[in-house]
Structure 1
Amino acid sequence: MEWAFLGLLTFAILIFSLSFFRQDRTKALEKEVDDLTIAYKKEIFIVNKRLKTLEEEHHSLIQQRKKGTAREQLIDDVLDLKSKGHTENEIAKEMKLTENEVISILQTKYQKPSH
């Protein structure tokens, strides 16, 4: 009985000492999780930054398109009134433009490209 107790005690001491030399698996896993978390946060930051850039570009393109569309609509309205026989002065009053602006729009639209 003493030999069994002594054998078990020796075995316990041996296993206990080996546990100090063995790498702590929990710490390694914690470090790996921390590294993955940091990498994930960096990726999210980069994606959010890129998304913000794309949103700004999209907003800028929409603003340019709106400006172009409004300008084209103005030109179309001026041409429509001119085709109905209105004078430049009447068109200017109707569209709340100056007569020079109306004349400029008409000249630009009716100029033929030179080759």
Structure 2
Amino acid sequence: MENDVNAIAKDGKNIALIAHLTLIGWIVALVMNNNTKSDFASFYIRQMLGLMLCAIVLSVIPLVGWILNLGLLVLWIMSLIGAVNGEKKLTPVVGDYFQDWFKSF
């Protein structure tokens, strides 16, 4: 029984890490999470969806958007570190919004 719990937790962490790898990785993580439904993986799937959408919107704005995208890179690194450590770390400022807006994921 304990091995099953550890396997599920490890799967959730793996899915969370995959979600950090580009849009294709996020889609793969979303599909994988539909099979096992890990709360940890769902948390990071929502966080990464929000960060990716912000990056897309900011990419359309010349210069200022590109500079702000560097800030998003820092937020992505912070999110990745949280996922690697097995901690649910909200993205500063907007993480709560991402969890609320994308709660269906």
Q: Which has the higher contact order (CA 8 A, sep 6+)?
A: 2
TM-score w.r.t. structure 2 length?
Answer: 0.30
TM-score w.r.t. structure 1 length?
Answer: 0.28
